[in-house]
């Protein structure tokens, strides 16, 4: 049964050598400096619209508009969750990303000064979220979320946010809820779910999977009337700043400046620009500083109880 | 094998009455009680009349839609493309998995790497435990490391691999295939190493005695003896990979899974119906194909005479080796049965040698070349399809999707791994225990968020339930304790789901069994009227269709549907697991019953078929059933972790939540817990001798 010791030792040495080689191959890799002016720009976005094709179409249009202005091919890369878009930007897989406020703050926390903001929509500086309810709950318009907590007591209602990393679909509604009720949704509702995106939340509240939900106002506004009637608004939050078009600073100041002016130049005069702006529910893009999102970095770093 | 030796040798039923079964039953009862106590069950979806009505409406809507699937040409073409995507990802993933699993399994197999045979139960007590200590020799350490690697590969959900790979090589169909490959590597390495370990050491002793080292022993002794099983398990895994590939799409790899989830969210049931039809089509074809090949593999062995083919009928029947083989056995549907193939192990191994001898003289067989050619052809197709053939969603622009793989050779891609470095520094929250940095610990204590275990109840009050309650409350302030507690959800789901599924499978096996529905006249002495025969055939067909659908739809898809019907929660997850378990188990259970020689049932002549099933057939195969069930439980635990990600809650949910919030340290702790769960179940099953292919 026992092998000669030399054989087992030889085998062990061989195998450790193999492991060591594998380890060196894996670890010796060094992060190389990203190229100053890439051959192709990749733009990505948080998938806040559940309809991937619609996002491909409209962000593809944004990519073409920017590409035409700076003279580089720009391609839209669709990702399936919020975290993936931040990861893509932070690891250099993508150069530009359409992010929410929280994802911007997350990227800022990962990347530090390697992150800048190209601009945001005019509506982003005064964004609001809606709380919606299935009509079967019998809720009317509420003046504070405290009333919602009272009404929900003992009812066994189910609540849905959008994506976990969404600003308007999770963090801000949660913050307002906690500020106004002194409690957490987990304590008030039977289950608290994360549907993944705003219009899925809307649909789930409308068909009664969940009784209450929170989502951003733009997603509710652009839904069709029949759906809106089955998931009416019960509360509107105070305004806050939201989405930003973020970019990596290693693109270089010239390219960033060109991208900024190209973004601000987008208007309704071209059919592509008009379509994009109407999809984004925006009048135009406006300039912004990354510092405007610093409050979210502070909010996240303060250890806000986000339920996890 | 070893467990059966006394039975075979002595020819007596049992030398002493085994009480292991009672212990097992007791453990099961305790597990069920714990499952109901530990997790927060909300049966409202099933008990509350209003919500039940809602669920019924949705199920009805789904059934109606399923009866009229969206068969518009455009959508069918899209579904077909998704099917091909899924198929090519699964095939490539499996091929890569096989290549990677071999070296890993060589290391993880005790017989190959350490050179000891699987412990045969001769050593008792301490000596038996000692054999599992990794530090007794360098090779044993290597073996332990390889096992840990394969457990990590297996336990880390494939979507996590996918996210890490996305950062390394970007997004594309290849990413999904690679993620799948890593997962399959872990599973195959485990199965291979167990297969090699289960070869009886005396059968390759001559290679050793002739001076063969460990590699020679493996190449000329162990490998050929286990080759047949290795092949059939690989096929079985490929079949499972096709099922899983339907799911991996959820991270952006495309495929049927992501599309189904997408359409479920929008309530487009007609499209969901079409997509599920395609999934079923794909899994069924894979199912049938791998079955045919495996039956071929088995057929060769059983042609070698009565003893071999009889052993096919499963370990339990080995005692009856003298019974003549039934001619229809080879024709009987052989089943999915990775597991029942485990039972075949002994048969085919003993068959291999004689097959080799028999084939040696005759003309060289053509079929291995045909099979190899087919495999190469299929792989070339999947490479071509993934690389150039698949242009879905790319504006029709031709591009090579395989090119990103080249980036794996560059340092830059590996450098990207640093982004996930923090996952390897799990948050242990020592401050919560009052350890580590005194300033932080003090701050925590001042907030009242540090564990002060014996603040209210001292350790001497252990007999008071209130004390335990208070201790548990106190421990919850420690993050790691909350992590451990979150494991209760997947465990509870797996326990209850497995029990429900197995119980249902025991019932469904009766109509599912050809023995009892078609061939009952051979032993029951009755002469059924033609209408009775027709009725039974219908029953059989219905039961088989049910089982096929239940296992053809992956558990994650069942979970999507159950969540859509009953709302998110434990109940939906449990039902999903139970349904899938029902499908898989019915097939394996049915096989065990149908492989029994009909004459076994003759002594009950005059009893009803149902009575014969209950008092003869079930006890005969019970041991095999329980072994299979345990394996299913093991994989159900892992499935339940993944279900957490899609809205069932618990460990998987917490992990993905923290991962998505880039709280990698915390996510790391949850990941360690996931791996620990897999390792614990694996090691305890190895220690208890329940290993998948051991008997």
Domains along the sequence of chain A with CATH: 41-125+241-301 (3.40.190.10), 128-236 (3.40.190.10)
pLDDT greater at residue B80 or residue B361: B80
Place of tokens 């209850």: B496
Q: What is the pLDDT of residue A202?
A: 92
A132-141, B315-324, B562-571: the lowest-pLDDT one: B315-324
Chain B hits for A78, CB-CB cut-off 8 Å, are 171, 252, 393
Per the domain annotation, does B121 fall within a domain?
yes
Q: What is the pLDDT of residue B356?
A: 43
Largest Cα–Cα distance of chain B, in whole Å?
Answer: 86
Identify which of B141, B411, B568 has the shortest CB distance to residue A29: B411
B75-B81-B83 Cα angle (round to 5):
105
Check: complex ipTM more than 0.85: no
For chain A, positions 235-294, list CB contacts with chain B under 8 A: none
Q: What is the pLDDT of residues B14-54, one digit of tens each?
A: 556 666 667 777 888 888 888 888 777 777 777 777 778 87
- Which whole-number Å values give the CA distances from B21 to B60, B498, B626, in the listed order? 42, 18, 10
Q: What is the pLDDT of residues B280-295, one digit of tens each?
A: 888 888 878 877 777 7
CB contact (8 A) between residue A29 and residue B42: no
Per the domain annotation, does B497 fall within a domain?
yes
Per-residue confidence band for B102, with pLDDT thresholds at 50, 70 and 90: very high
Question: Could you give the 3-state DSSP secondary structure of residue A13?
Answer: helix
Q: Tell me the pLDDT of chain B averaged across its residues.
A: 76
Per-residue confidence band for B134, with pLDDT thresholds at 50, 70 and 90: low
Instruction: Label the pairing between strands A285-286 and A115-121.
Output: antiparallel
Q: What is the pLDDT of residues B433-444, one digit of tens each?
A: 777 778 877 877
Q: What is the pLDDT of residue B594?
A: 82
CB contact (8 A) between residue B214 and residue A3: yes
Per the domain annotation, does B170 fall within a domain?
yes
Q: If you average pLDDT over residues B630-645, what whole number do you get?
A: 83
Q: What is the pLDDT of residue B451?
A: 78
CB contact (8 A) between residue A31 and residue B266: no
Among all residues of chain B, which has the CA nearest to that of A75?
B394
Q: Does A24 touch chain B (CB under 8 A)?
A: no
Q: How far apart are CA A96 and CA A103, in angstroms?
A: 13
Chain B hits for A106, CB-CB cut-off 8 Å, are 661-662
User: Taking the mean position of all CA atoms in its chain, how far away is CA B414?
Assistant: 31
Q: What is the pLDDT of residue B397?
A: 52
Task: State whether B374 and B512 are in the same domain.
Answer: no
Task: State whether B273 and B323 are in the same domain.
Answer: no
What percent of chain B lies above the pLDDT cut of 90?
A: 10
Chain B hits for A32, CB-CB cut-off 8 Å, are 411-412, 415
Q: What residues form DSSP beta bridges with B455? A: none
Per the domain annotation, does B164 fall within a domain?
yes
Q: What is the pLDDT of residue A173?
A: 93
Task: State whether B489 and B554 are in the same domain.
Answer: yes
For chain A, positions 52-81, list CB contacts with chain B under 8 A: 52, 56, 77-81
Q: How far apart are CA B627 and CA A283, in angstroms?
A: 66
Look up residue A240 and give its DSSP letter. Answer: B
Q: Does A306 touch chain B (CB under 8 A)?
A: yes
Task: State whether B295 and B308 are in the same domain.
Answer: no
CB contact (8 A) between residue A29 and residue B659: no
Q: What share of chain A is helix, strand, coil (3-state, %, to 5)?
A: 50, 15, 30
Q: What is the pLDDT of residue A134?
A: 92
Question: Could you give the 3-state DSSP secondary structure of residue A126?
Answer: helix
Task: State whether B409 and B282 are in the same domain.
Answer: yes
Q: Does B422 touch chain A (CB under 8 A)?
A: no
- Which whole-number Å values give the CA distances from B305 to B224, B308, B346, in the listed order? 20, 6, 14
Listed as ranges, residues in chain A with pLDDT below 50 are 1-8, 21-35
Task: State whether B200 and B349 are in the same domain.
Answer: no
Chain A hits for B176, CB-CB cut-off 8 Å, are none
Size of interface A-B (CB pairs under 8 A): 135
Task: State whether B560 and B671 are in the same domain.
Answer: yes
Q: Does A137 touch chain B (CB under 8 A)?
A: no
Helix residue spans in chain A (DSSP H): 5-27, 52-70, 82-90, 101-111, 145-152, 172-181, 185-188, 198-206, 217-221, 225-230, 253-265, 271-279, 294-301
Neighbouring C-beta atoms of residue B619, cutoff 10 Å: 10
For chain B, positions 53-112, list CB contacts with chain A under 8 A: 54, 107
Per the domain annotation, does B678 fall within a domain?
yes
Q: Does A138 touch chain B (CB under 8 A)?
A: no
Helix residue spans in B385-459 (DSSP H): 411-415, 438-447
Q: Which domain holds residue B402?
A: 70-299+368-422
Number of domains chain B contains: 4
Task: State whether B512 and B451 are in the same domain.
Answer: no
Buried b (16+ CB within 10 A) or exposed e, B324-344: ebbeebbebebbbbbbbbbbb
Q: If you average pLDDT over residues B240-255, what whole number do you get?
A: 64
What percent of chain B lies above the pLDDT cut of 70?
A: 78
From B143's Cα to the closest Cα of chain A, the distance in A is 10
Neighbouring C-beta atoms of residue B136, cutoff 10 Å: 13
Q: How far apart are CA B75 and CA B159, in angstroms?
A: 27
pLDDT reading at B310 higher than 50: no
Task: State whether B316 and B393 are in the same domain.
Answer: no
Task: State whether B598 and B473 are in the same domain.
Answer: no
pLDDT reading at B517 higher than 50: yes
Per-residue confidence band for B205, with pLDDT thresholds at 50, 70 and 90: confident
Task: State whether B294 and B315 are in the same domain.
Answer: no
Per the domain annotation, does B406 fall within a domain?
yes
Q: What is the pLDDT of residue B399?
A: 61
Task: State whether B644 and B579 are in the same domain.
Answer: yes
From B335's Cα to the closest Cα of chain A, the distance in A is 37
From A308's Cα to the closest Cα of chain B, the distance in A is 6
Q: What is the pLDDT of residue B118?
A: 44
Identify which of A84, A110, A209 has the shortest CB distance to residue B163: A84
Question: Which range, A12-21, B365-374, B490-499, is most confident?
Answer: B490-499
Per the domain annotation, does B39 fall within a domain?
no
- Which whole-number Å values give the CA distances from A283 to A167, A273, A276, in the listed order? 21, 10, 10
Q: If you average pLDDT over residues B367-395, what whole number do you get?
A: 78
Per the domain annotation, does B438 fall within a domain?
yes
Q: Which of B422, B438, B462 is a domain's end point?
A: B422
Chain B hits for A164, CB-CB cut-off 8 Å, are 657, 660-661
Task: Report yes or no: A250 and A36 within 8 Å, Cβ to Cβ.
Answer: yes
Per-residue confidence band for B430, with pLDDT thresholds at 50, 70 and 90: confident
CB contact (8 A) between residue A77 and residue B418: no
For position B547, which CATH number holds? 1.10.3720.10
Q: What residues form DSSP beta bridges with A132? A: A213, A233
Q: Which of B382, B406, B422 is a domain's end point?
A: B422
């Amino acid at each position: 049964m026992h092998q000669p010791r030399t054989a087992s030792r030889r085998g062990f040495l061989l195998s450790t050598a193999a492991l060591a080689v594998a380890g060196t191959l894996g670890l010796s890799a060094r992060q190389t400096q990203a190229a100053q002016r890439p051959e192709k720009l990749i733009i990505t976005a948080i998938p806040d619209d559940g309809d991937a094709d619609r996002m491909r179409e409209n962000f593809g249009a944004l990519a073409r508009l920017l590409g035409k202005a700076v003279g580089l091919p720009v391609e839209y890369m669709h990702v399936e969750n919020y975290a993936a878009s931040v990861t893509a930007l932070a690891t250099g897989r993508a150069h530009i990303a359409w992010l929410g406020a929280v994802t911007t703050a997350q990227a800022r926390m990962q990347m530090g000064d390697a992150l800048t903001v190209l601009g945001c929509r005019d509506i982003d500086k005064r964004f609001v979220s809606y709380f919606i309810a299935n009509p079967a709950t019998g809720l009317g318009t509420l003046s504070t979320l405290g009333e919602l907590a009272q009404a929900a007591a003992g009812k066994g209602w189910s609540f849905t946010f959008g994506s976990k990393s969404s600003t308007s679909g999770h963090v801000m509604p949660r913050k307002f809820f906690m500020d106004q009720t002194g409690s957490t949704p987990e304590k008030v509702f039977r289950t608290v779910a994360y549907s993944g995106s705003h219009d899925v939340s809307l649909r789930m509240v409308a068909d009664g999977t969940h009784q209450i939900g929170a989502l951003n106002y733009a997603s509710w506004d652009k839904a069709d009337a029949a759906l809106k009637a089955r998931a009416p608004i019960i509360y509107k939050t105070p305004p806050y700043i939201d989405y930003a078009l973020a970019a990596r600073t290693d693109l270089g100041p010239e390219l960033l400046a060109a991208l900024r002016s190209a973004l601000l130049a987008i208007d309704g005069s071209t059919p592509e620009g008009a379509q994009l702006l109407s999809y984004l529910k925006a009048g135009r893009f406006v300039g912004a500083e990354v510092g405007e999102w610093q409050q979210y970095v502070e909010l996240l770093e303060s250890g806000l109880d986000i339920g996890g | 094998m070893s467990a059966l030796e006394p039975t075979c040798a002595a020819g007596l039923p049992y030398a002493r009455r085994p009480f292991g079964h009672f212990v097992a039953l007791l453990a099961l009862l305790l597990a069920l009680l714990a499952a109901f106590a530990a997790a927060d069950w909300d049966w409202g979806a099933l008990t509350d009349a209003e919500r039940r009505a809602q669920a019924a409406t949705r199920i009805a809507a789904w059934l109606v839609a399923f009866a009229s699937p969206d068969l518009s040409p455009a959508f069918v073409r899209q579904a077909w493309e998704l099917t091909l995507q899924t198929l090519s990802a699964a095939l490539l993933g499996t091929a890569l998995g096989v290549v990677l699993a071999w070296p890993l399994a060589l290391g993880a197999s005790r017989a190959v790497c350490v050179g000891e045979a699987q412990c045969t139960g001769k050593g008792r007590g301490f000596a038996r435990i000692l054999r599992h200590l990794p530090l007794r020799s360098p090779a044993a350490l290597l073996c332990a490391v390889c096992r840990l690697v394969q457990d990590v590969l297996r336990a880390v959900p494939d979507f996590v691999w996918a996210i890490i790979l996305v950062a390394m090589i970007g997004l594309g169909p290849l990413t999904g295939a690679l993620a799948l490959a890593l997962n399959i590597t872990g599973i195959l390495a485990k199965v291979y190493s167990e297969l090699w370990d289960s070869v009886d050491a005396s059968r390759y002793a001559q290679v050793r005695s002739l001076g063969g080292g460990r590699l020679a022993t493996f190449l000329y002794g162990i490998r050929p003896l286990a080759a047949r099983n290795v092949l059939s398990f690989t096929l079985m895994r490929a079949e499972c990979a096709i099922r899983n590939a339907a799911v991996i799409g959820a991270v952006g790899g495309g495929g049927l899974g992501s599309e189904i989830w997408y359409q479920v969210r929008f309530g487009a049931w007609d499209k969901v119906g079409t997509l599920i039809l395609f999934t079923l089509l794909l899994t069924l074809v894979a199912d049938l194909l791998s079955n045919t090949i495996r039956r071929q593999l088995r057929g060769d062995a059983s042609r070698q005479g009565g003893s071999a083919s009889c052993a096919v009928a499963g370990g339990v029947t080995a005692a009856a080796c003298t019974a003549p083989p039934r001619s229809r056995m080879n024709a009987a549907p052989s089943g999915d049965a990775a597991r029942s193939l485990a039972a075949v192990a002994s048969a085919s191994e003993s068959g291999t040698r004689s097959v080799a001898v028999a084939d040696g003289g005759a003309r060289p067989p053509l079929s291995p070349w045909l099979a190899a050619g087919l495999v190469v052809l299929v792989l070339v197709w999947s490479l071509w399809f993934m690389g150039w053939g698949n242009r879905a969603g790319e504006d029709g622009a031709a591009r090579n999707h395989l090119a990103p793989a080249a980036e794996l050779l560059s340092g830059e891609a590996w450098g990207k791994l640093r982004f996930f470095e923090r996952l390897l520094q799990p948050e242990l929250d020592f401050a919560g225990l009052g350890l580590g940095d005194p300033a932080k610990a003090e701050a925590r204590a001042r907030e009242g968020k540090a564990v002060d275990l014996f603040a209210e109840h001292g350790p001497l009050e252990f007999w008071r339930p209130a004390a335990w309650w208070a201790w548990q409350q106190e421990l919850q302030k420690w993050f790691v304790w909350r992590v451990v507690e979150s494991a209760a959800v997947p465990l509870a789901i797996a326990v209850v789901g497995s029990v429900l599924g197995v119980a249902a499978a025991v019932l469904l096996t009766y109509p599912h069994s050809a023995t009892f529905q078609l061939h009952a006249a051979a032993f029951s002495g009755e002469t059924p009227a033609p209408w009775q025969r027709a009725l039974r055939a219908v029953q059989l067909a219905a039961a088989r269709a049910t089982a096929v659908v239940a296992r053809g739809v992956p558990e994650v898809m069942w979970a999507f549907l159950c969540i859509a019907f009953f709302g998110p929660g434990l109940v939906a997850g449990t039902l999903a697991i139970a349904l899938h378990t029902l499908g898989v188990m019915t097939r394996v259970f049915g096989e065990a019953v149908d492989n029994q020689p009909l004459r076994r049932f003759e002594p009950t002549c005059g009893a009803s078929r149902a009575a014969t099933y209950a008092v003869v057939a079930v006890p005969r195969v019970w041991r095999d059933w329980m072994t299979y069930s345990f394996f299913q439980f093991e994989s159900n635990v892992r499935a339940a972790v993944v279900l957490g990600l899609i809205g069932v809650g618990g460990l998987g949910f917490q992990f993905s939540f923290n991962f998505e919030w880039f709280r990698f340290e915390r996510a790391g702790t949850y990941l360690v817990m996931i791996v620990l769960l897999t390792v614990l179940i694996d090691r305890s099953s190895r220690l208890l001798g329940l290993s998948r292919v051991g008997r």
